[in-house]
Amino acid sequence: MGLLERFFAPRHPAWGVHPDDRKRPAADAPLRRLPLPERLYVPLQQHVGGAARPVVLAGQKVRKGDLLAEAQGNISAPVHAPTSGRVLAIGEVTAPHPSGLAQIAITLASDGEDRWGERDPVADPFALAPEEIARRTAAAGVVGLGGATFPAAVKFNLGRRLKVRTLIVNGGECEPYLSADDMLMRERAAEVVDGLRIVMHAIGAGNALVGIEANKPQAIAAMRAAAAPCGDVAIRVVPARYPMGSDRQLIETLTGLEVPADARAAEVGVLVHNVSTCAAVHRALRRGEALVERILTVNGGAVRAPGNLLAPVGARVADLLAFTGLHGEPARLILGGPMMGSVLPHANVPLVKGASGILAFDAAEAAVPAAGPCIRCGSCTRACPMGLLPLEMAARIRAGELAAAVDFGLSDCISCGCCAWVCPAHIPLVQYFSHARGELAAGERARLRNAATRRLVEQRSERLAREAREKAAAAAKRKAERDAAKARAAAVTRAADAAAAPLAEATP
Amino acid sequence: MLIAILSLGLLGTVLGFGLGLAAKKFHVAGDPLAAEIEALMPGSNCGQCGFPGCPGAAAAIAAGSAPVTACPPGGKALAQALAARLGIAIDLAQVADAGPQIAAVAEEICIGCCRCIKVCPTDAIVGAAKQIHNVMREACTGCGNCVERCPTEAVTLQPVAVTLQHWIWPKPLAAGH
């Protein structure tokens, strides 16, 4: 590196933003375990893909880790009992989703014993076939815990099929306020490293790169210590820049590879898994434990004692907030980070596997400035990590020209929110994109439905024609039979006449 | 001045004749546009648009006497496809999409007469004589033919509830634009 580059090379990537991270003091508070709530509400859909199908009945007794609902379809994940107790009901509860709509969940009454059911730990996962690791990971209900909640085992099989060389482990955690992955790496570095080595074995990768943002020095030290004996695992420090935790940006920063717009990461020879997912894989294999609890950050101005909690899936957000305490009523509740998380309708929603944090904002944090007109400053185009033109896309969407927005690259948008964060006019750009995506998906569904309707109509007219043909054929057959019977009768009469005639002649 | 008037007049006359001849020579019997539009439509001939079946609606849309938003089962997607084909601009927000509806059979009133089954354009109703009928949600287009046919008013159209998978973020209110 020449002297000039040393001084003038950019300190950080050209994309992205650097919001005030506000991770402390929550990140420094010790990890606490949420006292077991009396009731747990386990949604059937906590992952991308088909909802799980319940295999328990109301009234049934279950132990911790028992299967509550099985995976349904190729891309799906099962859900397990987060504690021991009795199934109270299977019915609708409010989903942790901005719409406030209901989703089906299994309600569990805890018996307070928190007793594990049958577990099937593996002493040496590296002796197992990769398929078996994928099967066990799938059976434990492990999904991507970085937020995407894609079933982990499906990704393993994809990685093996596409012959992935490098496993990238995402310890970026670039969202402000969140420190759950940071806490996990500090507390359970050995589990993360063992988990990622199991994942390497499952996907057939030769080496692993762990990307951790520079603002987590303790996590970096812990992970380096844990990974020291493994030559094929490298811990890399990446600049603290939002959205470093997005897979495409992390891959580019760590390997220099750019994933093409219409391709998956596996197609350039890498696969990304989150540190929490790796730890869950470790528990699924080494301890035979299903994914029933996770570390998450409870933070925000309205929280009295912010910090990281170990909480069971299915605990209500209200239970968490009651444990940490609140300064008055929070002005806004968010599931996930402030940049990409979703606003919650109220605190009476269950925690899901993908919940990396619960943020309770006070009025100052939740204030949204009124949107003004776009002044075409281009800040959003500089911030966009995908190299898109958010202002142009939003203008098209505002005018209802969704196809034009797609031409501007709407489908490459990762909804990271950088554009809206930098926008001096406070235009809710990401909401435009989410709206357009929803409309496009609805249009596609309607198109498929129309095609299906056409097919049904064609099949019906074919059926009607066939029935008419069959009716005509049956009628013709009956007529022919009648005619034949008549002809036979006539022939018999004629024969009788013929037989009688000579007699008649002979008699006189 | 005179030359200009004469030459332009002559030009106009000649070209006018040319156009007139071309119109006669290349006259098309049917309307290919109507056929093309009909291919885009659901084809269930449900009659919700008020025209005699999909061919009738397609002819009216091609002639411009019906809006591209005339087909309720087609919804916004069809309106958009038709607008793109006809090269006209529509504001989708103006499309009165009352939301999808599908038929439902009230089991306690159904007498199992099979009449609704016969009028369903997509064979979406299952049942047999003196058996309670049922509607297959995936196949029903919500055309309402069965509702009119039912002697006991057991069939009604019900709005399809929005689910998490179908929910769409509302469009932001444009401020200052």
Domains and their CATH numbers in chain B: 32-88 (1.10.15.40), 101-159 (3.30.70.20)
| Distance from C-alpha of A143 to C-alpha of A97, rounded to nearest angstrom | 18
For Cα atoms A372, A376, A381, give the angle at the middle one, nearest 5 degrees: 110
Question: In the predicted model, what is the mean pLDDT of chain A?
Answer: 91
Sheet arrangement for strand A32-33: A32-33, A307-312, A293-299, A357-361, A332-335, A342-343
Query: Contact B45/A372, CB-based, under 8 Å?
Result: no
Pair of tokens at residue A359: 């943020």
Q: Are A79 and A106 in contact (CB under 8 A)?
A: yes
pLDDT of the residue at B98: 61
| Distance from C-alpha of A333 to C-alpha of A76, rounded to nearest angstrom | 28
Its pTM stands at 0.82
Closest-approach residue (CA) in chain B for A444: B77
Residue position matching structure tokens 């894609």: A150
pLDDT of the residue at A1: 47
| Distance from C-alpha of A53 to C-alpha of A75, rounded to nearest angstrom | 13
Instruction: Give the gap in angstroms from C-alpha A456 to the nearest C-alpha of chain B.
Output: 5
- Partners of B139 on chain A (C-beta within 8 Å) are 452-453, 456
Phi, psi for B45 (deg, rounded to 5):
50, 40
Testing the interface with A: which of B122, B136, B143, B145 to mutate, by most A Cβ within 10 A?
Answer: B122
The set of residues, in sequence order, having a beta carbon less than 8 Å from that of A284 and lying 6+ positions away, is A136, A137, A139, A140, A142, A290, A291
pLDDT of the residue at B54: 86
- Partners of B141 on chain A (C-beta within 8 Å) are 453
Q: Which stretches does DSSP call E strand in A58-197?
A: 61-62, 67-70, 79-80, 85-94, 102-110, 166-171
Segment A170-181 shows an average pLDDT of 94
| Cα four-point dihedral sign A139, A140, A145, A149 | positive
**Residue bearing the bigger pLDDT, B44 or A214:** A214
pLDDT of the residue at B51: 86
Q: Is the pLDDT of residue B175 over 80?
A: no
| Distance from C-alpha of A78 to C-alpha of A106, rounded to nearest angstrom | 12
Q: What confidence tier does A220 reach under pLDDT thresholds 50, 70, 90?
A: very high
Q: To which H or E segment does residue B7 belong?
A: helix B2-25
Q: What confidence tier does A126 reach under pLDDT thresholds 50, 70, 90?
A: very high
Query: Contact B42/A95, CB-based, under 8 Å?
Result: no
Segment A299-307 shows an average pLDDT of 94
| Residue burial B30-48, b: 16+ Cβ < 10 Å; e: rest | eeebbeebbebbbbbbbbb
Q: What confidence tier does A508 reach under pLDDT thresholds 50, 70, 90?
A: very low
Q: Is the pLDDT of residue B1 over 60?
A: yes
Instruction: Give the gap in angstroms from C-alpha B170 to the nearest C-alpha of chain A.
Output: 6
Segment A123-146 shows an average pLDDT of 94
Instruction: Give the gap in angstroms from C-alpha B3 to the nearest C-alpha of chain A.
Output: 51
Q: Which of B91, B164, B170 lies nearest to residue A95, judging by beta carbons?
A: B164
Q: Which amino acid is at A341?
A: G
Closest-approach residue (CA) in chain A for B84: A403
| Distance from C-alpha of A75 to C-alpha of A144, rounded to nearest angstrom | 13
Query: Contact B76/A371, CB-based, under 8 Å?
Result: no
B interface with A, Cβ–Cβ < 8 A, is: 42-45, 73-78, 80-81, 84, 91-93, 121-124, 138-139, 141, 162-164, 166-172, 174-177
Residue position matching structure tokens 């490459």: A412
Residue position matching structure tokens 């599908």: B102
Q: At A334, is the secondary structure helix, strand, or coil?
A: strand
pLDDT of the residue at A411: 92
Give CA separation, B19 vs A491, B5, B12, in Å.
Answer: 76, 21, 10
Query: Contact A454/B76, CB-based, under 8 Å?
Result: no
Q: Which of A398, A425, A438 lies nearest to residue B169, judging by beta carbons?
A: A438
Query: Contact A457/B76, CB-based, under 8 Å?
Result: no
Lowest mean pLDDT among A305-319, A366-380, A469-483, B34-48: B34-48
pLDDT of the residue at B177: 43
pLDDT of the residue at B176: 43
- Partners of A371 on chain B (C-beta within 8 Å) are 172, 174-176
Query: Contact A371/B166, CB-based, under 8 Å?
Result: no
pLDDT of the residue at A152: 94
Looking at the DSSP bridge assignments, the partners of residue A103 are: A93
**Residue bearing the bigger pLDDT, A117 or A5:** A117
What value of ipTM does the predicted structure carry?
0.79
Query: Contact B77/A446, CB-based, under 8 Å?
Result: yes
